[in-house]
Amino acid sequence: MKKNLKIATTIFIVVFIIDQIVKYGFANLGWDVNGPYMSLKLAYNYGVAFSMFSFLAEYLKYIQLFMVFAGTVYLFMNKDVFKEYYIPIALLYAGGLSNILDRFTYEGVVDYFYWHYGFEFAIFNIADVMINIAVAIIIYKQIKQSREEKKEKAKNN
């Protein structure tokens, strides 16, 4: 368990710091770059994914902090969940807390990846990518576990 916690902490720190450095560059140093397929362009998201719930902008940071707190309490009460999912949990916490820090620092989440070739896609950031990777890992592990349980059940019948 201690090894998993050390790995998770390292992943969290590295992802969080990289994301915050890049966001600082876009928010304060004018790192915008226009490209033919994708541009790096500063934008602030006052809502959540695809700017949903932007009408809650001033409250979202507190709602999200409460959700992180509730998730942390859940993990303390269910250490086996952390043991199984420590890598995606570290990615979720790093991405989520980095975006929450943006809400306190910049009053909105700093986004900058803007895909515009063939179709326009929502502007996003490294933290968003890490959150999506974490969710994909969790889904993959759940599907894999379900298949293994079905095989074991069929084998025993």
Q: Please list the active-site residues.
A: 111, 128
d(CA 103, CA 97): 10
Q: What is the DSSP string of 106-153?
A: HSSEEEEEEE-SSS----B-HHHHHHHHHHHHHHHHHHHHHHHHHHHH
Separation of alpha carbons 75 and 83, rounded Å = 9
CB 97 within 8 A of CB 89: no
> CA 46, CA 51: separation in Å to the nearest integer?
6
